[in-house]
């Protein structure tokens, strides 16, 4: 931990930022902490007073001074009342501060996820993004809970030292030794701890990684009888983690009692030093104060111990918050005209961050209402092209136009209002069937059912217990892959898009149903859609490709050929090979066997 000073400086900056973001609530929590701390001092004084004015005289004189007793009791009540107010301020306000900061950072992170383009998402694994929003934010604001108390305690410590100086220099000297000793020990503790905790955290990630992988490959594990071997692999890492955690525990087990013992030894030394120098009441008061302060002093330690984790959390959170690459928008509200869109690509190049280009020099025009199939081998860039067509990201160079207008000139939402992409990977929200189709847009039930019919999804939706209101997703109905794809298709159809892009969108649907969907979609103008939208189909099956007016053959990120299916088959052997290879896979109905 040579970077310790940097951690402390950066940690302080994080705490300062927290104060700036929640100044009012921080003020309340600080006031509460100070009030509570001052009352700790006051409590010691009250008990010292009681000893001097009530207890000792009562024993010496054989009878109690009732008025002094009453004052002592009143003081105890008063101190308790202020302490209660202090606790409320400190704990409630500090808690609210921590929760609010966590919540607000989670909202900010999620907004970045929503705004950043798909090219950014493609670079970041899902698991990492989720943990940015979850555990990293939590780590970032963890020190906030003890923070106000720690600041309060620090102030109180100074006040106490001042009081000790006023009382007796010898005792003050003792305080000047004991208080810093607690803090320094705490700092050493935090430093040793952060290394071990970081290692334990890394090991936790390892263990979790093995569990993820092993469960994901459960079928292979089971059918090859590898359960015991896998358990051994998991156990080996779990035991390393166990040993690391025992190490963390031993450290905690050493420092915890040590930190408790220092003020206790301090109290005893107060007796030793003070006995010959001050009266009994003062002695009791100072000894009691040392005992009372032992606990709050540790708040400083807790906060310091959490700072390294907080700094690491902040690093990871900032990577999201400061990520660049947002798509610029213009102010054109919608593509010109009505009806099917003209689509134009000029010299479009695209690559995912420095890696080899995925698409090079794509130039193609698609006239309104045409149905174009994109065919190509795996990795040819078909899905990337689909993402570019609806502006999930921008090309590195070149221009894509709807009706002659550069996509970058459109206002936010304008592209989505005209074009719909049904992606290869279906995604359904944790929502009702209706919510999944409308996504909150004002479509009535009639329109939703129309769209479901077009996607051949009306049958199974009608059979669901709650129909359109049936919940989909983790806590709702489990749908098959084909059903999920048909719902996503309905989501596109209900919008009556002027440009429809189907990226292998019916791969898990029975071939017969698929043909019915596509035939209805592409050729039965007037039934599902009033006019045929400009349609781009990414397809494999020959029967599907045959439905298109023409075919764009994509190979190695370039348009290798373009023409009707028959023409390409005739003149382009690579194309013919691809199409006939796909052909042999008659049924693609996504049998869920073993998978």
**How would DSSP label each residue in 469-490?**
G-BBSTTSB---HHHHHHHHHH
Of 10 and 137, which has the nearer Cβ to another protein? Answer: 137
Least separation in angstroms between CB 202 and another protein:
13
Of 6 and 411, which has the nearer Cβ to another protein? Answer: 411
**Residue of 542, 558, 561, 563 that binds another protein (CB under 8 A):** 542
Q: Please, what sign has the CA dihedral across residues 271, 277, 281, 286?
A: negative
Within 278-377, strands assigned E span 343-350, 359-366, 371-375
Question: Rounded to whole angstroms, how far apart are CA atoms 576 and 257?
Answer: 78
Report yes or no: 349 and 359 within 8 Å, Cβ to Cβ: yes
**Residue of 133, 144, 172, 289 that binds another protein (CB under 8 A):** 133
Residues 264-293 that bind another protein (CB under 8 A): 264-265, 267-269, 271-272, 275-276, 279-280, 283-284, 287-288, 291-292
Residue 50 makes contact with another protein by CB under 8 A: yes
Q: What is the DSSP letter of 90?
A: I
Least separation in angstroms between CB 155 and another protein:
20
Least separation in angstroms between CB 147 and another protein:
15
Least separation in angstroms between CB 590 and another protein:
6
Q: Give the CA count within 13 Å in the CB-facing half-sphere of 167.
A: 28
**Residue of 3, 6, 218, 516 that binds another protein (CB under 8 A):** 218
Structure tokens at 13: 């900056």
Of 262 and 362, which has the nearer Cβ to another protein? Answer: 262
Question: Rounded to whole angstroms, how far apart are CA atoms 305 and 120?
Answer: 34
Of 31 and 248, which has the nearer Cβ to another protein? Answer: 248
**Residue of 24, 331, 474, 526 that binds another protein (CB under 8 A):** 474
Residue 55 makes contact with another protein by CB under 8 A: yes
Q: Which stretch binds another protein (CB under 8 A): 10-18, 86-94, 167-175, 178-186?
A: 86-94
CA-closest candidate to residue 301, choices 149, 197, 155:
149
Question: Rounded to whole angstroms, how far apart are CA atoms 103 and 144?
Answer: 13
Least separation in angstroms between CB 198 and another protein:
15
Least separation in angstroms between CB 545 and another protein:
7
Of 10 and 174, which has the nearer Cβ to another protein? Answer: 174
CA-closest candidate to residue 33, choices 80, 79, 99, 94:
94
Contact string (CB under 8 A) for another protein, positions 91-120, x = contact: xx--xx--xx-xx--xx-xxx-xxx-xx--
**How would DSSP label each residue in 366-424?**
E-TT-EEEEE--TTSSHHHHHHHHTTSS--SEEEEEETTEEGGGBPTTHHHHHEEEE-S
Report yes or no: 307 and 8 within 8 Å, Cβ to Cβ: yes
Of 10 and 557, which has the nearer Cβ to another protein? Answer: 557
Of 12 and 127, which has the nearer Cβ to another protein? Answer: 127
Least separation in angstroms between CB 267 and another protein:
5
φ, ψ of residue 64 to 5 degrees: the values are -85, 145
Which secondary structure element, helix H or strand E, spans residue 537, and what is its range?
strand 534-538
Least separation in angstroms between CB 130 and another protein:
6
Question: Rounded to whole angstroms, how far apart are CA atoms 577 and 595?
Answer: 29
Residues 566-595 that bind another protein (CB under 8 A): 577-578, 580-595
**Residue of 351, 361, 511, 556 that binds another protein (CB under 8 A):** 511
Contact string (CB under 8 A) for another protein, positions 296-315, x = contact: --------------------
φ, ψ of residue 402 to 5 degrees: the values are -105, 125
Report yes or no: 353 and 123 within 8 Å, Cβ to Cβ: yes
Report yes or no: 551 and 566 within 8 Å, Cβ to Cβ: no
Contact string (CB under 8 A) for another protein, positions 221-260, x = contact: xxxxxxxxxxx--xx--xx-xx--xx-xxx-xxx-xxx-x
Residues 409-438 that bind another protein (CB under 8 A): 412-413, 415-417, 420-421, 423, 425, 427, 429-430
Residue 488 makes contact with another protein by CB under 8 A: yes
Of 276 and 324, which has the nearer Cβ to another protein? Answer: 276
Question: Rounded to whole angstroms, how far apart are CA atoms 53 and 284?
Answer: 13
Residues 548-567 that bind another protein (CB under 8 A): 565
């Amino acid at each position: 931990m040579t970077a310790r000073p940097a951690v402390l400086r950066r940690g302080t900056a994080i705490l300062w930022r927290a104060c700036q973001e929640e100044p009012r609530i921080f003020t309340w929590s600080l006031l509460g902490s100070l009030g509570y701390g001052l009352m700790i001092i006051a409590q010691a004084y009250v008990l010292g007073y009681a000893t001097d004015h009530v207890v000792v005289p009562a024993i010496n004189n054989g009878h109690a001074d009732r008025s002094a007793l009453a004052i002592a009791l009143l003081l105890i009540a008063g101190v308790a009342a202020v302490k209660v107010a202090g606790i409320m301020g400190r704990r409630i306000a500090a808690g609210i501060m921590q929760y609010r900061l966590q919540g607000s950072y989670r909202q900010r992170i999620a907004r970045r996820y929503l705004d950043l383009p798909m090219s950014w998402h493609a670079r970041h694994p899902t698991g990492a993004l989720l943990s940015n929003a979850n555990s990293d934010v939590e780590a970032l604001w963890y020190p906030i809970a003890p923070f106000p108390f720690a600041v309060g305690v620090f102030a109180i410590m100074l006040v106490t030292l001042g009081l000790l100086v006023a009382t007796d220099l010898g005792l003050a000297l003792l305080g000047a030794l004991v208080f810093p000793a607690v803090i320094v020990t705490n700092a050493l503790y935090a430093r040793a701890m952060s290394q071990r905790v970081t290692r334990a955290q890394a090991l936790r990630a390892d263990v979790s990684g093995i569990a993820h992988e092993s469960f994901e490959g459960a079928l292979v594990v089971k059918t090859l009888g590898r359960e015991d071997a896998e358990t051994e692999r998991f156990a080996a890492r779990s035991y390393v983690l166990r040993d690391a955690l025992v190490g963390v525990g031993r450290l905690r087990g050493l420092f915890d009692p040590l930190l408790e013992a220092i003020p206790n030894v301090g109290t005893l030394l107060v007796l030793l030093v003070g006995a010959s120098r001050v009266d009994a009441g003062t002695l009791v008061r100072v000894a009691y104060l040392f005992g009372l302060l032992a606990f709050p002093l540790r708040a400083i330690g807790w906060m310091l111990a959490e700072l390294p984790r907080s700094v690491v959390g902040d690093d990871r959170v900032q990577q999201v918050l400061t990520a660049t690459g947002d798509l610029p928008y213009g102010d054109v509200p919608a593509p010109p005209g009505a009806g099917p869109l003209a689509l134009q690509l000029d010299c479009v190049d695209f690559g995912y961050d420095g890696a080899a280009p995925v698409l090079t020099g794509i130039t193609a025009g698609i006239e309104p209402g045409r149905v174009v199939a994109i065919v190509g081998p795996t990795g040819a860039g078909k899905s990337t092209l689909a993402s570019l067509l609806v502006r999930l990201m921008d090309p590195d160079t070149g221009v894509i136009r709807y009706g002659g207008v550069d996509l970058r000139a459109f206002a936010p939402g304008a592209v989505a209002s005209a074009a719909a992409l049904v992606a290869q990977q279906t995604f359904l929200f944790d929502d009702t069937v209706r919510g999944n189709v409308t996504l909150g847009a004002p479509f009535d039930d009639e329109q939703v059912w129309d769209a479901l019919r077009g996607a051949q999804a009306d049958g199974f939706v009608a059979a669901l217990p709650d129909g359109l209101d049936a919940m989909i997703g983790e806590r709702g109905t489990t749908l098959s892959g084909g059903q999920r794809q048909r719902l996503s298709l309905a989501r596109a159809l209900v919008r009556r898009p002027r440009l429809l892009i189907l990226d292998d969108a019916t791969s898990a649907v029975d071939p017969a149903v698929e043909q019915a969907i596509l035939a209805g979609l592409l050729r039965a103008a007037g039934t599902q859609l009033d006019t045929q939208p400009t349609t781009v189909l990414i397809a494999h099956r020959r029967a599907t490709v045959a439905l298109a007016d023409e075919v764009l053959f994509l190979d190695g990120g370039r348009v290798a050929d373009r023409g009707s299916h028959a023409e390409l088959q005739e003149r382009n052997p690579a194309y013919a090979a691809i199409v006939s290879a796909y052909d042999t896979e008659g049924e693609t109905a996504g049998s869920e066997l073993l998978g």
